[in-house]
A = this chain, B = another copy of it.
Amino acid sequence: MIRFYNGKVLRFEPEMRLTDEEVWTDGNRIAYVGPVKEVHPAFDRQIDLRGDLLMPGFKNAHTHTAMTFLRSLGDDMELQSWLKKIVWPREAKLTDDAVYTLTKLGILEYLSSGITASFDMYVHNEAYARANVDAGFRTVICSGLNNFDADPENIEREYLHFNQYHELVSYMLGIHAEYTTSLDRMEYLASLADKYKAPCFTHICETKKEAEDCIKRYGMSVPLVLDKIGFYRYGGGGFHCCWFTEEDIRYFADHGLWAVTCPGSNLKLASGIAPVEKMRQSGINLAIGTDGASSNNALDFFREMYLVSALQKIYEEDASACPATEVLKMACVNGARAIGMKDCDDISSGKLADLVVIDLNRPNMQPHNNILSNIVYSGSKEDVRLTMVNGKILYENGEFFIGQNPDEIYSEANEFVKSLTV
């Protein structure tokens, strides 16, 4: 059992608030949240928060973790030539071993940013899942069906396999995107959703061209095409949503779908700014994703949270758009619920122990006019003192505890990159 005491606790239910409570974890769960107790069990460790903040970890609701190998390769290039010259030729050379190492590299970065879970869509899922389990990190794999998959039915096998694989891993249904997936393949995925009563996800309206091409192809927007084939019968959502029309927003809101915004990637690739504030005002459930390191290029939730809010202020020409508390809800609570992790969404007794300690005694977190605003508007990875996933401390005071020396991971990642003579 681990005890966190002498600090502040950020809780979300039944209402968002900062408390002076103490928190105990037992195994992978939170065992107690409440006032300081005189009598308590023997703890394995007692962590003095020294006035710092204990909060639920950030959930990275859209990413391609192993794309770390493409970080800073072909920056400042136009999208299509970047994909053709840089990304695709290198991705074709990925191996299980490479994905294992590159995933661990991404997990290190998540932990250093207070991220405790990811929703990942990529390739070599077996190696990916193993890397997460070995590192002790929590993830949901999302299938990314598209026209290049040799065997679409593998998705059903993966769905069954990874949903009973390990407590840290689960699997959800998805297609890569409308523009990369034929109608019959999208319909096939919708039939799986029907069979398993499962929510479905996809990249959606990321670029203007993608949104326009779909209308040319089907005479309607991507969300409405997906609706027509029953893709969203059991819920789910989409990543990016930059080019949602008012009708698309209404559709997502009416159907309780999740919009995962990825502002860093959308800026870097010049894709657009998603209408996050409009979606929020319309009642859409919002979560946040970093997207891959190839296009972001960081996997840093402080940057994403800041961008979610700051970009809406300029987009809406209104400094009051998308306030900090709403962004924190998206990052900590909604991200968990979007990807089916209802037990990772708050700090309360019985919930899973996916927690972060934020150092409030750093210059960028001072003075304490408003601690929650500080996190969103001036917070940085520098402030992450500790990251715990499933009851285990995987990061503390700059050091990683994922069962492998980070230097070994860096070295393997660099060797793989060097081997890519494209």
How many angstroms between the C-alpha atoms of A398 and B76 in the bound complex? 32
- A320, B76: Cβ atoms closer than 8 Å: yes
Residue from A77, A371, A380 having most chain B Cβ neighbours under 10 A: A380
Given A266-B314, A369-B417, the answer on whether A303 and B300 have CB atoms closer than 8 Å is no
Interface status of A12 (Cβ within 8 A of chain B): no
Determine if A314 and B267 form an interchain contact, defined as CB atoms under 8 angstroms apart.
yes
Q: Are B73 and A370 in contact (CB under 8 A)?
A: yes
Pick from A150-158, A251-259, A280-288, A290-298 the stretch touching chain B. A290-298
Contacting pair B366 A410 (CB below 8 A): yes
Enumerate A403-422 residues with CB–CB distance to B below 8 Å.
Answer: 406-407, 409-410, 413-414, 416-417
Given A319-B79, A410-B367, A414-B366; A373-B270 close (CB under 8 Å): no
Give Cα A21 to B78, complex, Å: 35
Contact of A378 among B78, B273, B293 (CB under 8 A): B293
Closest Cβ neighbor of A80 among chain B residues: B319
Contact for A380 among B269, B310, B382, B416, CB less than 8 A: B382
Q: What is the distance, in angstroms, from A369's C-beta to the closest C-beta of chain B?
A: 5
User: Is A362 an interface position by the 8 A CB rule?
Assistant: yes
Which residues of A, 359-404, contact B by the 8 Å Cβ criterion?
Answer: 361-364, 366-371, 373-374, 377-382, 398
Give the CA-CA distance A53 to B316 in the complex, in Å. 40
The verdict on A313 contacting chain B, using a C-beta distance below 8 Å, is yes
Cα distance A302–B298 in the bound complex, in angstroms: 11
Is A268 interfacial (CB-CB < 8 Å)? yes
Give the interface centre of A266, A369, A374 by most chain B CB atoms within 10 Å: A369
Known: A75-B324, A298-B380. 9 other contacts (CB 8 A): A71-B378, A75-B370, A105-B366, A269-B313, A270-B319, A298-B379, A300-B380, A367-B413, A380-B380
26 inter-chain pairs at a CB distance below 8 angstroms, sorted by A residue, are: A68-B366, A70-B369, A71-B374, A71-B378, A72-B370, A72-B373, A75-B323, A75-B370, A77-B320, A112-B363, A267-B310, A267-B311, A269-B313, A270-B317, A272-B314, A297-B378, A298-B364, A298-B379, A300-B364, A302-B380, A363-B406, A364-B381, A366-B413, A368-B414, A368-B417, A398-B398
